[in-house]
Amino acid sequence: MFASLRLLSRRTLASQVSRIQSIAQAPVRQFSAEAAATKSGGWISGGGKWALLFGAAGLGGWYYAKENDFVGGVTGKAPSSAPTVPDYDKVRKAISDLMASDKAEEYDDGSFGPILVRLAWHCSGSYDKASNTGGSNGATMRFPPESGIGANKGLDVARKLLDPLKEQFPWISYSDLWTLAGAVAIEEMGGPEIPWRPGRTDQPDGKNCPPDGRLPDASKGAQHIRDIFYRMGFNDQEIVALSGAHALGRCHRDRSGFEGPWTNSPITFSNEYFKLLLDEKWNKKKWNGPLQYEDKTSKALMMLPTDMALVWDKKFKPYVELYAKDDEKFFQDFAKAFSTLLELGVPFKEELPNKA
């Protein structure tokens, strides 16, 4: 509770206004009972097996089902209207509760939000369009070698945080859970609503882990950023929009080697990152660590070499300027690009109707 109060108190009026505006314009979520029923045919047959089991177990089975959020059809009586579908709203609520827990208050800047966003991004950002490999489907980051690569250092924290939710809702795949947690975290931190739908399945082992080197190296420049994100299928504008997530969270010396937050409100989603990139003077930090930049005013904020590349590159910079001026446009473009990122390589049966 305290964490959520703190989170709210840190939000600026401007970001609250943007949130209201963005929610008013945001597309409708795609996790309704109807969507879930059409998307999860495989699940429903799995659910049928559970239903038999619970029927035999009588009241105990009913209690288990109630606790684990199977909606309808598990008490032995055929439900008149409610279909047997998993309730993703319950999972959303559990993620929000986790973010507002007292445990979260003690962590970093008072929220698990940023690291949940990073988990969703790193499990998805391994996608390679040419070979249609990698991406969030499979949740292969549970296994070596992907779990142990340098780029994923620290993400065990996020994975462990979500494990109890996987136990509470055993019907959800890890890959759906991790991506949903990233989407909910953005929303809970004042960001736009992220279109999200279920349908990912988990791999049983690490045989299909994507090779190391698919995630960006923060010490490099514009060409490297393009190599990495074009490989996933993104364009320059989407690259800049996605990079705006660095309004959130911080670098940790013992994870990436870099240190510090990008903005003064690292648990509030905003266009502050773009404003700072343009308005501040950024100097090389003099320290015993990898090259990073610090703001001249407070020396408390940081930028990575890849962040600076967005203002140094003449094709990226106009988008930095656009998003610094227009937070509504940033929220819209981020929501669309982040939703696309979470879906890369996922073999959905149908197209998401609200995506252009």
Cβ proximity to ligand HEM, 159 vs 255, nearer residue: 255
Residue that has been written with the tokens 């609250």 in this structure: 16
Q: Which stretch binds ligand HEM (CB under 6 A): 96-104, 161-169, 253-261, 275-283?
A: 253-261
User: Is 338 a binder of ligand HEM (CB under 6 A)?
Assistant: yes
| CB closest to ligand HEM, residue no | 249
Tokens of 310: 């967005």
Residues designated as active site: 122, 262
Q: Residues 171, 178, 258, 282: which binds ligand HEM (CB under 6 A)?
A: 258
| Phi, psi (rounded to 5 degrees) for 337 | -70, -40
Cβ proximity to ligand HEM, 115 vs 162, nearer residue: 115
Half-sphere exposure of 228 (CA within 13 A, CB side): 23
Pattern 303-322, binding to ligand HEM, x per CB under 6 A?
-x-x----------------
User: Is 43 a binder of ligand HEM (CB under 6 A)?
Assistant: no
Distance of alpha carbon 205 from alpha carbon 202, whole angstroms: 9
Q: Enumerate the H helices of 58-173 as residue ranges.
A: 59-67, 88-99, 102-106, 113-124, 155-168
User: Is 121 a binder of ligand HEM (CB under 6 A)?
Assistant: yes
User: Is 114 a binder of ligand HEM (CB under 6 A)?
Assistant: yes
Shortest CA distance to 70 belongs to which of 121, 39, 36? 36
Residue that has been written with the tokens 């930049």 in this structure: 293
Nearest distance, CB of residue 227 and ligand HEM, angstroms? 10
- The angle that helices 155-168 and 113-124 make with each other, rounded to 10 degrees, is 90
Chain-centre distance for alpha carbon 302: 22
Cβ proximity to ligand HEM, 39 vs 255, nearer residue: 255
Cβ proximity to ligand HEM, 54 vs 234, nearer residue: 234
Nearest distance, CB of residue 1 and ligand HEM, angstroms? 22
* Backbone CA torsion sign across 332, 337, 342, 348: positive
User: Is 251 a binder of ligand HEM (CB under 6 A)?
Assistant: yes
User: Is 117 a binder of ligand HEM (CB under 6 A)?
Assistant: yes
8 Å CB contact between 345 and 133: yes
Beta-strand pair 302-303/260-261: unpaired
Given the rule CB under 6 A, which residues bind ligand HEM?
A: 114-115, 117-118, 121, 154, 216, 218, 225, 242-243, 245-246, 248-252, 255-256, 258, 304, 306, 338
